[in-house]
Amino acid sequence: LSIIFILFLITFCKFNNDSGIKFLIPLLVKNGSVTLSDSDGVTGLLEGVTLKTYTLVLNSQPTSNVVININFDKSVLKVNSQTSGTTSITFTSTNWSTAQTVYVYSVFNGTTDGTRSSIITHSSASSDFNYDSISINSISVTITDNQGSKLTSSFQSGTSTMTSASITAALGTSVNSAMSFVYCNTRYPSSNIDIPVTCQINSSGTSVEIKSGDLNTSTIVNWYVVEFSQGALVERGSTTFTSSGSDLSQTVNLSNTFDTNRTFLIAYSRVNGDNNNQTTDEQRTTMVKLSSTKSLELSRNEGGTATTIEWQVIQLDGARVESGNSTISSGNSATTASLNSAFNSNSVVFFTSKGGSGVNGVETYYYTRGYYSSTTELTFQRGGSNDSVDVSWFAVEFVDGTTVQSGYTNIGSSSTTGTANLSSSVDTTKTMILMSYDVTGYDTAYQDSGTFSAIFNSSSQIQFERYNSESHLCDINWFTIQFK
């Protein structure tokens, strides 16, 4: 608090040579101030997709709590996941010098309205005179219009059975491979390392290529090919690790530049050649992540087996994405990952993972399922706890009218099938099933009891099936995604 004395001359009346009465009046000046930093460039947002931040911090220690009120147009913006038009942050005499982050996200409205702007204003309240009702800078946000992602029509799907190491599933209509992706669920008949398959759309967009290291596996593959008419960019490729024990990490430079705020990955790995080993599964498991807007990083924790990864980088204008890396450490069966903002019910999680070198082919140590434990938290869980599992994840919220249902299904120790009832019916010609699972049992031979196919029994029910039960419990976390 500063006190400035100002000399006032007031003339009440004039007697002889007396010119008036002079006296000092104190003027109280507030010393408190708030610094707003916009290093993330919150001024430019893509509607419904971009999440950006700015920070606020006090410039001196207050004598009591200082509440900064943040006011915004709720029809245009969300701030700190709030939609009410106002939110607040509080500084104390302890945390006053620590900058607090404000998260800003633009609301998707599904209309063509061009580039527009909105103002975020701030006000303060405190028992400390220096910080009560002080002036704080506002911030102007420019929002770029976004029409989301739209399917060409219905997408194509099917179920294929592996009869050799490589098969193709012909598409009824060719797709634009630069605007399409494929997703597969697989049910394996044995636990050899050469059984797992990869899925990829061929370069001409006429078929799905499904490959494994085994010559005749009888693996069941449920596949979905999703093609968009607008608002999508897809790049795909194949990367091979040699059998060298030191070949653990590779970087891939992409042809396109991707916006990480709306981009996620799908990847599958297979071993190269016939291999009946069941104790080296971790040499195949590969984690894939975006290392920049133009590059991928692929890595595994143990080398020794030649492995090929088929990957797809998918950017959707109708998706909002946060990504990160997490580790289930040795001795633990689960880990959590915090999200910067709340994700609504139309959200899924895509992830890839790599088992630790001490996993030694035991499926319960590296089979991992992922789910939302809250709107701001992901959980990754496995059945066992030996060694570690590293996870690269993408939390994806669909903002353009695409709808998601999710749930959990337990498969009993004597069952090979299970079902999940949906809360509302879906259009199965536009809906795919995304799932992940763990398995109990401490052996290397449980791949056939820990992997599942998934199909729609009806528009409101999913059926899961595995080859064998082998007296093992399995937990499945699933999502249905009905594209707009």
Give per-residue pLDDT as tens, 404-456. 999 999 999 999 999 999 999 999 999 999 999 999 999 988 899 999 999 99
Pair 135, 182 in one domain: no
Amino acid 217: pLDDT: 74
Q: Are residues 354 and 224 in the same domain?
A: yes
Would you say the C-alpha torsion 186, 428, 315, 141 has a positive or negative sign? negative
pLDDT beyond 80 at 98? yes
Domain interval for residue 116: 34-144
Checking DSSP bridges between strand 295-299 and strand 249-253, what pairing results, if any?
Answer: antiparallel
Q: What percent of the chain has pLDDT over 70?
A: 94
> How far, in whole angstroms, is CA 404 from its chain's centroid?
14
Q: Is 344 helix (H, G, I), strand (E, B) or coil?
A: coil
- Confirm whether 14 is domain-assigned: no
pLDDT digit string, tens, across residues 305-342: 999 999 999 999 999 999 999 999 999 999 999 999 99
Q: Are residues 215 and 99 in the same domain?
A: no
In the chain, pLDDT over 90 holds for what percent of residues? 85
Q: How much is the pLDDT for 81? A: 86
Task: Find tokens 């080296």 and name the residue.
Answer: 280
Order of strands, sheet of 307-316, starting from the edge strand that comes earlier in the sequence: 232-241, 307-316, 263-271
* Residue 142: CB atoms within 10 Å: 13
Residue with tokens 């606020």: 56
Confidence band for 15, pLDDT divided at 50, 70 and 90: very low
Rounded CA separation 259/273 (Å):
36
Q: Could you tell me the two tokens for 16?
A: 């002889």
DSSP-derived pairing of the beta strands 100-106 and 21-29: unpaired
Identify whether residues 155 and 135 lie together within a single domain.
Answer: no
Q: Sheet with 368-374: list strands edge to edge.
A: 334-338, 377-382, 368-374
Residues 137 and 191 in one domain: no
Which of 144, 175, 210 is at the close of a domain?
A: 144
CA distances from 365 to 201, 270, 279, 289, 369 (A): 31, 19, 12, 21, 12
Residue 8: inside a domain: no
Q: What is the Cα–Cα distance from 353 to 389, expressed in whole angstroms?
A: 7
Tell me: the pLDDT tens digits for 226-262? 999 999 999 999 999 999 999 999 999 999 999 999 9
Task: Show which of 144, 167, 189 is a domain's final residue.
Answer: 144
Whether 473 is in a domain gets the answer yes
Report yes or no on 22 lying in a domain.
no
Residue pointed to by tokens 């195949």: 284
Statement to judge: residues 112 and 164 lie in one domain: no
Would you give the DSSP letter of residue 129?
G
C-alpha to C-alpha distances, 240 to 184, 207, 401, nearest whole angstrom: 20, 22, 37
87 in a structural domain:
yes
Domain check: are 67 and 113 in the same one?
yes
User: What pLDDT, on a 0 to 100 scale, did the predictor assign at position 39?
Assistant: 82
| 216, 241: one domain | yes
Contact 350, 270 (CB under 8 A): no
Instruction: Select from 144, 170, 199 the last residue of a domain.
Output: 144
Together in a domain, 90 and 192: no
- Residue 335's DSSP bridge partners are 380
- The larger pLDDT score, comparing residue 303 to residue 276, is at 303
Q: What is the CATH number of the domain that holds 130?
A: 2.60.40.2030
> Looking at the structure, do residues 214 and 129 belong to the same domain, yes or no?
no
Are 228 and 360 found together in one domain? yes
In a domain, 6, yes or no: no
Residue 286 has pLDDT above 90, yes or no: yes
- pTM here is 0.87
Nearest Cα residue to 361 out of 273, 282, 300: 282
Average pLDDT over residues 364-382: 98
Say which residues have a Cβ less than 8 Å from residue 443's Cβ, sequence separation at least 6: 362
Query: What pLDDT, on the 0 to 100 scale, is given for residue 393?
Result: 99
Domain count across the chain: 2
What are the two backbone dihedrals, phi and then psi, of residue 265, each rounded to the nearest 5 degrees?
Answer: -120, 150
DSSP for 169-232, please give it.
Answer: EE-SS---GGGEEEEEEEE-SS--TT---EEEE-TTSSEEEEE-SSSS---EEEEEEEEEEESE
Residue 26 lies in a domain: no
Q: What is the CA radius of gyration of the chain?
A: 29
59 in a structural domain? yes
Is residue 13 within 8 Å of 69, Cβ to Cβ? no
End-to-end CA, the chain: 59
Q: Indicate if the pLDDT at residue 4 is higher than 70.
A: no
Do 25 and 6 meet the contact criterion of CB atoms below 8 Å apart?
A: yes
Instruction: Say yes or no: 324 and 266 in one domain.
Output: yes
